[in-house]
Amino acid sequence: MHWELLGRLGQPDPADLDPSRWLYEVKHGSERRQVEVLITGPAKHSPTVRYDVERDGESALLQILEEIGDGEPPKRITITAEGIEPSWE
């Protein structure tokens, strides 16, 4: 069983701040974790990560969950103009 996305818990900060922040909840069996997604201002105008920005980082989170399988999900994902940067710290 892999980690699955339960849903978006909300936006802890207003969307016009840089970076924008979104909070998601994921689960693996009975374990639940929260993952914060940060979207930088430059990312909002980058064609490289446009799909992820349009979906408030949800697509980036799903991609990472698929890649890690049963491993530990990141605590934070930062979406920059250059790409997606997961962090476990």
- Please give the tally of structural domains in the chain: 1
State the pTM of this model.
Answer: 0.88
What backbone torsions phi and psi does residue 64 show, to the nearest 5 degrees? -65, -40
Contact (Cβ atoms closer than 8 angstroms) between residue 77 and residue 87: yes
Domain, as residue range, for 48: 4-87
- Percentage helix, strand, coil for the chain under 3-state DSSP, each rounded to 5: 25, 35, 35
Sheet hosting strand 76-79, strand order edge to edge = 4-10, 20-28, 31-39, 76-79, 84-87
Cis omega (within 30 of 0) for bond into 73: no
List the chain pLDDT tens, one digit each, 89 residues. Answer: 699 999 999 876 665 667 889 999 999 999 999 999 999 989 989 999 999 988 989 999 999 999 999 999 999 999 999 999 999 99
